Structure 1
């Protein structure tokens, strides 16, 4: 991997880590489109680019989630009982999601990602929060919810907060606890999804050197180092900036990235 690519990945990782700390969002929706651009520019095999971008993005969450969870746990905001109820379904769903992605061609996967990010950006722009109208379901319901979160996360390479936070607030979990608990769910999502992407990509032909399954290890290493370093800075900056306004700007940026992925699918 040349120095230019290392520099680009360092900047990308730093930006994603800062945005995650500042806005309380996972980096997958940013990472996947930019990784797709980078791998395309490096002339990686076109049939694998989107799969590798999603898999590498998901793997970085294993590292970034740890620092985020430590900060939330120190404030007593993580509800570990809910984490335990979600985790069995999340582990299953996060394994299944990459398997589904492996059955899809690059265009179909890019289309799904683009449409999903468009939906998520719209929710962020409108800042809609579901009214708390019920309690959390029992173990079976929580396993099913966790499975849904895991499948979607495995398909788009994100940490699941786009689904888990609204679900928990709908079930009368306070918003700051929902965000903190969602951060704790990032690790099992990323862990199971990463193992799945390795397993289902191991025997795929024509993957570039440095790949472990669908994961591009050099990019994972550089992005993880940079994003873990800047996430705490973003979290501190959040207290001094108008985060609600910034989220609307971020949503507009997500529209542009979603448009790029849809362009990539149909070109």
Structure 2
């Protein structure tokens, strides 16, 4: 691949976005996919990738980048004793099954389906957080089959959105009496459960598809992975430190504004 001014500019944009993604991962307990997917979607469009391939390629690449970011963020929160490890163990199997189902759907679904899932989940989360008054269903999470359904839903929707599951898990946990700080910390661990099978699933889903760029492995762009991953890992620790310095309300407002911006971005794309 020839090194051109355009390619160098693209690399610079992706490196800056990767640094911002790492901070978001640690700050909000998310893998950063809500930022990466729109950026990668635009990048792939600028390079002439077919519209039917841009969204799954952006989602698959995002999930691959989330792997090291989520692990680093999860370890940082775990060191502070904020992660509910028992809940992670109970959610592990249903989350992975949901992720694999989402990757299978991605091979055949219209890209608009992924955008609508993105807008719905992010929008509901933003309204909840910015409203101030807490939404509660119970004082604690349920057990049995309902807890497993929650896990499967987190995996399925996250796989279709290209995120680490933080947006969805945060809503579920805070609805059931968990604090935002514990929800953010535990969501970082969920990101590790989602990203590994999710990335592998998108490699398989995109295998043999025509029209993908030459660097792609299925629906995962190796160039995007190479440029995003190092900076996200380096800056995730900063996000973790910021999260534990903010008050509960400030963390909620910051997360809500972030999600609202993401929702509006994809509404514009759907209507365009």
TM-score, length of structure 1 as denominator length: 0.88
Aligned pair partner of 1:79 in 84, 95, 99: 84
Q: Is the 8 A contact 1:19 1:231 kept in 2?
A: yes
CA shift, 1:129, in A, is 3.4
- Pick closer, same or farther for the CA change 1:39–1:76 going to 2, 3 Å: same
Secondary structure at the residue paired with 1:103? coil
What RMSD, in angstroms, separates the aligned Cα atoms of the two structures? Answer: 2.4
> Which residue of structure 2 lines up, in the alignment, with residue 92 of structure 1?
97
1:209-220 matches, within 5 Å, as 209-220=214-225
1:59-138 matches, within 5 Å, as 59-131=64-136, 133-138=138-143
Alignment size in residue pairs:
267
Listed as ranges, the gaps of 5+ residues in structure 1 are none
Are residues 1:4 and 2:39 paired? no
Q: Is the 8 A contact 2:30 2:163 kept in 1?
A: no
CA shift, 1:201, in A, is 0.7
> Which residue of structure 2 lines up, in the alignment, with residue 147 of structure 1?
152
> Which residue of structure 1 lines up, in the alignment, with residue 172 of structure 2?
167
> Which residue of structure 2 lines up, in the alignment, with residue 37 of structure 1?
42
CA shift, 1:227, in A, is 0.8
- Pick closer, same or farther for the CA change 1:216–1:192 going to 2, 3 Å: same
CA shift, 1:242, in A, is 6.5
Are residues 1:184 and 2:189 paired? yes
Q: Is the 8 A contact 2:126 2:260 kept in 1?
A: yes
- Pick closer, same or farther for the CA change 1:174–1:256 going to 2, 3 Å: closer
Task: Supply the distance in 2 between the matched residues of 1:74 and 1:221 (Cα, whole angstroms).
Answer: 28
Q: Give CA deviations for 1:49-79 in whole Å, capped at 9, x if unaligned.
A: 1111111112222111111111122122222
Aligned pair partner of 2:199 in 194, 200, 222: 194
TM-score, length of structure 2 as denominator length: 0.87
Task: Supply the distance in 2 between the matched residues of 1:154 and 1:128 (Cα, whole angstroms).
Answer: 30
Task: Supply the distance in 2 between the matched residues of 1:29 and 1:220 (Cα, whole angstroms).
Answer: 16
- Pick closer, same or farther for the CA change 1:163–1:259 going to 2, 3 Å: closer
Q: Is the 8 A contact 1:87 1:143 kept in 2?
A: no
